[in-house]
Amino acid sequence: MSDITQAQIRDNYSKELNSRFKQLRRWAMDNWPLPDQPLTTADFSAAEHEIQLLLGAKLHSQLPASRPEDFEPQYLPVTPAPWP
């Protein structure tokens, strides 16, 4: 039995899914029935974005997450407090 780690399994899955998506996109562009309105890679940007979200957050959900206090605040309060 091979000694494949969970990280290697996730990486292999990610590579395979990306490869299959690229093949699907190429097939869809090559076989699009409207030659006067051809598909471009931009037509698949939303699907590619969703796949990347799936491969990033969902596939690696078991990795240790950083606590919110480890980051800088998104905004700084600039309005002065009123006088008592």
pLDDT tens by residue, 11-29: 898 899 999 999 999 999 9
Contact 8, 41 (CB under 8 A): no
78 falls in which pLDDT band (50, 70, 90)? confident
∠ CA 35-29-16, rounded to 5° = 175
Q: pTM of the prediction?
A: 0.64
The mean pLDDT value for 28-37 works out to 95
Nearest in space to 22 (alpha carbons), one of 3, 43, 40, 48 = 48
Q: What is the mean pLDDT of residues 26-43?
A: 95
Asked if residues 59 and 16 have their Cβ atoms less than 8 Å apart, the reply is: no
